[in-house]
Amino acid sequence: MKLHVTLTSPYARMTRAAIIEHDLQDQVEVLIAKTRQSDSPYYEIAPSGRVPFLELDDSRSLEESDIICAYFDNIGKGPPLMRAMDLNNWEYGRLHALARTYIDGIGVWGREVRRPEGEQSPGIVAHERARNVRLANVWEREIGHPLMQGELNLAQLTLYCAFDSLIMYTGVEATPEHPNLQAWRARLSERPSLMATLPPART
């Protein structure tokens, strides 16, 4: 199996961490993709041009970090990262979606500030900055939830990778005024899968 990633993508980081959580390093080859370049040879492999992208051994392929992590849950050794969701217990689904909406906003913000200066939209940056403040406030209250404190899951992984990618893309630290989030991040930061997949420092 081949997993195409970039070292800066928080979505790809989730899947890279999942490989380590599931002890799949011998089964999955991790390759660096050339994204966002016209005529990149990567588009022959992944027509969407996005990462993460998993090439399965039977010539099929998978996109979307959630789906790829769920696939690794099925073939890996560790506890599942994607938790069951049913109508009697929708708590995992609620927190997972809240983490996804948080990381997606940071993705938009990060994309904006990486455009050439004259092409950046101050309106979009202000919108995403304000969204981030609102959602960080929500997370400060939600982080005590047993699902966010217990065994690692994909909602936790998503939120953790979101915070690190915000710093890498924008230099903004989301949690200095949020003691609960700070303590949570400090605890997770010692996890080997997250230490091994740190994004590059901001340049």
Ligand X SMILES: N[C@@H](CCC(=O)N[C@@H](CS)C(=O)NCC(=O)O)C(=O)O
Where along the sequence are the contacts to ligand X (CB under 6 A)? 9, 11, 35-36, 49-52, 64-65, 107
CA dist 169 → 4, 74, 107, 137, 180 (Å): 21, 32, 9, 20, 23
Q: Which residue's entry shows tokens 């091994």? A: 196
- Considering beta carbons, is residue 116 or 146 the nearer one to ligand X? 116
Q: Is 2 exposed, middle or buried (0-12, 13-18, 19+ CB in 10 A)?
A: middle
Nearest distance in Å: CB 74, ligand X: 18
Give the amino acid at 66: D
- Considering beta carbons, is residue 46 or 152 the nearer one to ligand X? 46
Strand blocks (E) in 98-138: none
- Considering beta carbons, is residue 9 or 175 the nearer one to ligand X? 9
Nearest distance in Å: CB 144, ligand X: 26
Nearest distance in Å: CB 52, ligand X: 6
- Considering beta carbons, is residue 76 or 110 the nearer one to ligand X? 110
Nearest distance in Å: CB 64, ligand X: 5
For residue 50, the 8-state DSSP code is: -
